[in-house]
Structure 1
Amino acid sequence: MQRYSLTAIILHWAIAALIAFQISVGWALEGLGARGFSLYQLHKSVGIMILALTLVRVAVRYWKPRPAKLEGGWQGALASGVHLGLYAFMIAGPLTGWALVSTAKVKVPTLIFGAIPLPHLPLPASVHGLAKGSHGLIAWIGIALVALHVAGALRHHFLMRDGLIWRMVPGRSTALLIGLPALILVGFLAGRAILPGAAPASVAAPAPVAPEPIAEPANVAEATPENVVANAIAEPVEEAAGPPPAWTVQPGGRIGFSVGNDGETISGSFGKWTAAIVMDPDHPDSADIKVTIDMASASVGDAYKDGMLPGDEFFSIAAHPTATFTAKGAERTGPNAYRARGLLSLKGISKAQSIRFTLTGEGPTRKVSGSATIARASFGVGNGDSSTGLAPQVALTFAFTAKAPQ
């Protein structure tokens, strides 16, 4: 009996195993939320791989002669229709998925297996709904076609006993006859095995910590002459201090951030930022602080996630390239410990924000370290479907060395 070429056989079983993997993973993706982010990227990569292999398979089909049909009539026509439908499914499925990603509101970059960038298709956002609906429908049609294809192969092998299935097995090997179809089951089980489980019950979501409000100014009407005199008698007047020093931030500092993500933690940092600090540590009320962060320098160490940060769902960098924190005055909260209440401007929104920091060292060189808790929703950060698993609070930390003029 004439067989398919070895190239066609390899492509047939490889594509079949990959389709089983895609079906297994695809069923679970929508219910995973943010936990399925990396799996979503793998799903896209495998889809493009199926598209590429299918195009090669089509070329091989015309390059290498295929065996003649064994059955005519309506059964033969049905078999030909299923084959044609499978080719359409293997091409249209990845293409509609590609269109879905290209037209999504949140532009998620695609790197095939984390290495090869895949550009978005030049399609208008208005076709997103059509692409999404088509992708889901094509998947179900593909499952039906695969079932018909398998049923037809089993009919020929066990009922008609015409040996048709041997045309897709090299060397008429019984081991390969069992092992090659088993690849389909392996692909399906591999997809199930890599699905993330539920978040561990022992991992508690971080408790919301509201940012500290800026203290309201005292009522001016209450500052009567009698009160002023009484305060002057009760508290010794501090000796007037000279101008507070301006500190220069030294290279090597870091501003980092972290946020809970369905029981896990996403951590990153900003690579570019500047700080203008004027403050006398002995007179913290003299502080004048301004920190400017280049939002395009944010990174969490993952190319996929980094590609999402500039978009409207997170930092909207095109419209708001920088974030700033400004504070006038600080207060001592303990030995070498301070708190500054000020204003954070992020993504075009300004809100009250406080930071806590400590100073260590003596003389003109001090080490600075501190933290803040930011309510991301107040600034519209993480406002899309891919952010549903993120904790409401983002922890910000910073550490650097600063020098004052001698």
Structure 2
Amino acid sequence: MMQRYSLTAIILHWAIAALLAFQISVGWALESLGARGFSLYQLHKSVGITILLLTFVRIVVRFYKPRPAKLERGWQGALALWVHVGLYAFMLGAPLTGWALVSTAKVKVPTLIFGLIPLPHLPLPASVHGLAENSHGLIAWLGIALFLLHVAGALRHHVLMGDGLIYRMIPGRSRVLLFVLPALILVAFAVGRMIVPAAAPDAAATAPAADEDEAAPIDNATNAAVPEQAANATTNTAEAETETPVGPPPAWSVQPGGKIGFAVGNDGDTISGSFSRWTADIVMDPDHPDSATITVSIDMTSASVGDAYKDGMLPGDEFFGVAAHPTATFKATGAQQTAPGRYRADGTLTLKGISKPQRISFTLSGTGKTRSISGTARVTRALFGVGNGDSSTSLAPSVAVTFAFKAKQK
């Protein structure tokens, strides 16, 4: 009776084989996905580290559990031995070079294994990034070749030589499992292809749409306000305002529960988030908005899009650069009424240490000493160096900012 591998070795063999097939399937698509592949990239890293850990266990089992004797000697036996050695090198080298690649990348993307366990970066210099990247790709192709050689050798023994070699890796010599277990590898490969995102429409067509009254940044070349219709509306409103304000404009205190959110198109999807910490100083008479002064300060470290991976990227230099510039501010002196209850204010936005003209549009509702405020702005991220790295190439050029809160007159 042919000796078999231990049950532990069998389980590890087929589990690692299926995971490798999944990795190969997904890995082929990652480079072409850009930012759309962010979640899949994180899964790819998680599965890679899982393979690394299972391989270490497999090595331990190999030394402490009895193994079947070799069936062949000579050059065929030597070839089989070196294919096995190569496969172990592949199972260790692929995840290790991938880990090194991530650890030395210019854009530091945090890794959480299956969204739960943080994986630290390896203490490697950035100069080895190119070597890690090239090695990772080369090892993957060598692994595929070794994988095919291993399968060919097993089929040669089992089918052509009729010695039942594959049964050494099948529990109980089950004919059902003889087909089911190899089929799992094909299923894993197919699943990897199925979860790859399909081609998406152009990002510009799917970016968050602006309201018809929403203001864009002021043109920096002309420093002039944009749509002509809005300018005409402002002129007509100003002419209608003949009443002289009495006394200084009132100050308003922002009440708890307000929100500042943001959204940006991402190759057919939308990434949405918010800032949990911000303050606003508002002095404004709704009947005489030209006397207004508005200052909003946002703690950029409080940004979140509800995804641990992406949240870990936001503070970095590619996006908000919070180490050097933890706060963004918007300041405006004066506002214009564009319609009953609707206003706009042209001011200055300072983000990542860069100051540029910026417009906001907002509405006031309510009467007396408590008002509800809601509004929008559209920020051109390139003007402030936000999203300036390789992982941002699929992001829309502008970010839609929304805000809503209640204010009480002081």
> TM-score with structure 2 length normalisation?
0.92
Unaligned stretches of 5+ in structure 2?
225-238
CA RMSD, Structure 1 to Structure 2 (Å): 1.9
1:329 aligns with 2:334: yes
Contact 1:213/1:354 (<8 A) preserved: no
Q: 1:224 maps to which residue?
A: none
Q: 2:14 maps to which residue?
A: 13
Shift of 1:199: 1.5
How much identity, in percent, do the aligned residues show?
A: 75
Shift of 1:389: 1.0
1:387 aligns with 2:388: no
Q: 2:235 maps to which residue?
A: none
Moved more, 252-261 or 159-168: 159-168
- AA aligned opposite 1:308: M
Contact 1:213/1:353 (<8 A) preserved: no
Shift of 1:200: 5.2
Q: Secondary structure at the match of 2:396?
A: strand
Shift of 1:27: 0.3
- Aligned ranges for residues 275-290 of structure 1 at < 5 Å? 275-290=280-295
1:228-271 per-position Cα deviation (integer Å, ceiling 9, x unaligned): xxxxxx99964342011111000000000001111111110000
The whole-number CA distance in structure 2 between the counterparts of 1:165 and 1:216 is 75
The whole-number CA distance in structure 1 between the counterparts of 2:326 and 2:80 is 58
Unaligned stretches of 5+ in structure 1?
218-233
- Aligned ranges for residues 258-273 of structure 1 at < 5 Å? 258-273=263-278
Contact 2:365/2:373 (<8 A) preserved: yes
Distance 1:235 1:58, change over 3 A: closer
The whole-number CA distance in structure 1 between the counterparts of 2:387 and 2:169 is 50
- Aligned ranges for residues 160-239 of structure 1 at < 5 Å? 160-199=161-200, 204-206=205-207, 210-213=216-219, 238-239=243-244
1:19-48 per-position Cα deviation (integer Å, ceiling 9, x unaligned): 000000000000011111100000000000
Contact 2:203/2:265 (<8 A) preserved: no
- Aligned ranges for residues 240-319 of structure 1 at < 5 Å? 240-319=245-324
Q: 1:2 maps to which residue?
A: 3
Q: 1:99 maps to which residue?
A: 100
The whole-number CA distance in structure 1 between the counterparts of 2:3 and 2:13 is 16
Contact 1:259/1:393 (<8 A) preserved: yes
Contact 1:260/1:390 (<8 A) preserved: yes
The whole-number CA distance in structure 1 between the counterparts of 2:244 and 2:334 is 18
Distance 1:383 1:187, change over 3 A: same
Q: 1:345 maps to which residue?
A: 350
The whole-number CA distance in structure 1 between the counterparts of 2:131 and 2:385 is 28
Q: 2:373 maps to which residue?
A: 368
The whole-number CA distance in structure 1 between the counterparts of 2:181 and 2:243 is 87
The whole-number CA distance in structure 1 between the counterparts of 2:203 and 2:304 is 28
Q: Secondary structure at the match of 1:180?
A: helix
Distance 1:135 1:202, change over 3 A: closer
Contact 1:246/1:277 (<8 A) preserved: yes
Q: 1:402 maps to which residue?
A: 407
1:84 aligns with 2:99: no
Contact 2:362/2:373 (<8 A) preserved: yes
The whole-number CA distance in structure 2 between the counterparts of 1:216 and 1:103 is 42
The whole-number CA distance in structure 2 between the counterparts of 1:49 and 1:216 is 55
Q: 1:61 maps to which residue?
A: 62
Shift of 1:99: 0.6
Distance 1:35 1:168, change over 3 A: same
Shift of 1:17: 0.4
Contact 1:108/1:304 (<8 A) preserved: yes
Contact 2:272/2:305 (<8 A) preserved: yes
Shift of 1:98: 0.5
The whole-number CA distance in structure 1 between the counterparts of 2:292 and 2:219 is 18
Distance 1:315 1:235, change over 3 A: closer
- Aligned ranges for residues 349-360 of structure 1 at < 5 Å? 349-360=354-365
1:59-102 per-position Cα deviation (integer Å, ceiling 9, x unaligned): 00001010110100011001000001100110111010001111
Contact 1:325/1:342 (<8 A) preserved: yes
- AA aligned opposite 1:212: I
Aligned residue pairs, count: 389
The whole-number CA distance in structure 1 between the counterparts of 2:279 and 2:204 is 36
> TM-score with structure 1 length normalisation?
0.93
- Runs of 4+ displaced beyond 2 Å: 200-210, 212-217, 234-241
